[in-house]
Amino acid sequence: MKEHLKTETALVYGNAENRLDLKTASAVVDQALAKWQMASQDAAEQALHRMQDQFADDEAPADFWHKASDKKFRDFFIWGHNHDFGHGAQRSGAMENRHREITTESLQMGFLPADLSGQNVLDIGCWSGGDLLILAGMGADVTATEEHPISARSARALMELVQCPGQVIEQSAYLDNPAWRQSYDVVYCSGVLYHVTDPLLLLRICFCYLKPGGRLIIETKGWTDNSGSSCHYSGTSIKGWNFFAPTELALARWFYDVGFPAENIEVYTRPMKRFLACAVKAEAVSISESAGFSRPGSWLEAEN
C-alpha cells in the first residue's frame, strides 16, 4: 500500500452501501437544520435581530473576499454560513450554503453516516456554527473549536439561542489536548487545512484525537495539477491567506504520513475543484518519521 501512494492516487475504501443519493442526503441535512428553527415567526425574527445586533458584520458578507480579507483575520468579523431561523427570518453569511453542500456531499460519498447518534464529533474551525448545527442535528455530541474570538462567541451564542447542545471552545487547532486522545468518532474539519502553516501537524493532531475506527473528514482548497505530488503556495500575499493547496496525491500522502493506512484513504474532487477527503484510523501508531516533526518529544509522536 505504501508503494501505491508513491505512484497512484488515493484508494476508495468506503462501502457503497453507506452512500446516499442527492435527494436523500439533502433531506438528511435539511432535517438536521430544521431542528434548530424557532417555534414562531416572532421568536425567529427576535433571534435574527438579536444575533445581528450582538454580532454585526464589519463588511457585507458578499464583500468578504474583496474587502474584509485585506485585513488581518482577527481584525474583523463576518457571519459565516447562511442560517435560517425559521418563518422567513434568515441571515446571510460569507460562505453562503457551503455547510449544506459539503455535509450533503459527505453523505453522498459515505464519509458521514446519516445518523450520528451516540457519536462524539469534533468540529475544527466552526466559524459561526453552520457545520456544528448540522452535525448536532444528525444526533452527534459535538465539541467545536474556533480560533477567531468573535466567531467563537457567535457560534456559542447561536447554539444557546436555538438550544443546541454541545460546546464551542475558543482556541487554536494547534493547541493539542492530550485529554482528547482517542476520544472522537469523527473529526470534521471543513475549509481550514489550506489556511494553516503546518498542515501535517494539524492532521497528526486530528489522527491522535480519533478512536481506532474513527474517521477524519477534510474539505480543502486543492491544486488539480496531478503531474506529481506537489502543493501550490500563495501565502498571505493573496486574499484569503491561502498557504498549502495540495494535489490529490499530496493530500493522500499527508494522510498516510500521519498514520492512516493507504487503503483507508479516499480523496474526492468536488464539482468546484476543491477536495473532500476522508480517512479511517485503523489503530494507534507512532508518526512514521519524527525527523523534522514540529512537536519533537511530544505525546503526538507516539500517541501516548
Mean pLDDT, consecutive 10-residue stretches, the chain (304 aa), reads 48 62 98 97 98 94 73 84 97 96 97 96 97 98 97 97 96 96 98 95 98 98 81 82 90 95 93 94 94 95 86
Residue 139 falls in which region: left (phi positive, over 0), alpha (psi -120 to 50) or beta:
left
Continuous segment of H or E residues that includes residue 170 = strand 167-170
The pLDDT, as a whole number, for residue 5 is 55
The pLDDT, as a whole number, for residue 131 is 97
Please answer whether residues 197 and 129 qualify as being in contact, where contact means their C-beta atoms are separated by less than 8 angstroms.
Answer: no
- Which residues, in sequence order, are bridge partners of residue 268? 276
The pLDDT, as a whole number, for residue 7 is 44
C-alpha closest to that of 86 among 41, 136, 55, 141: 41
Instruction: Determine the 3-state secondary structure of 169 from DSSP.
Output: strand
- Please give the backbone phi and psi of residue 237, each rounded to the nearest 5 degrees, phi first: -75, -15
b/e map of 267-285 (b: 16 or more CB within 10 Å)?
bbeeeeebbbbbbbbeebb
For the chain, percent helix, then strand, then coil, each to nearest 5? 40, 20, 40
How much is the pTM? 0.93
Geometric angle at alpha carbon 220, from 73 and 143, rounded to 5°: 70
Would you give the end-to-end CA distance of the chain in angstroms? 26
The pLDDT, as a whole number, for residue 15 is 52
Continuous segment of H or E residues that includes residue 207 = helix 199-209
The pLDDT, as a whole number, for residue 238 is 75
- Cell 452535525, residue? 135
Angle at which helix 98-109 crosses helix 22-34, to 10 degrees, equals 130
Share of the chain above pLDDT 90, in %: 79
Q: What is the dihedral of CA 133, 139, 142, 148, to 10 degrees?
A: -10
The pLDDT, as a whole number, for residue 261 is 95
C-alpha closest to that of 130 among 53, 36, 22, 210: 36
CATH T-level assignment (fold) for domain 2-302: Rossmann fold (3.40.50)
Please answer whether residues 234 and 181 qualify as being in contact, where contact means their C-beta atoms are separated by less than 8 angstroms.
Answer: no
**What is the full DSSP assignment across 175-242?**
S--GGGTT-EEEEEEES-GGG-S-HHHHHHHHHHHEEEEEEEEEEE------SSS-EEEEETTSTT-E
Domain ranges of the chain: 2-302
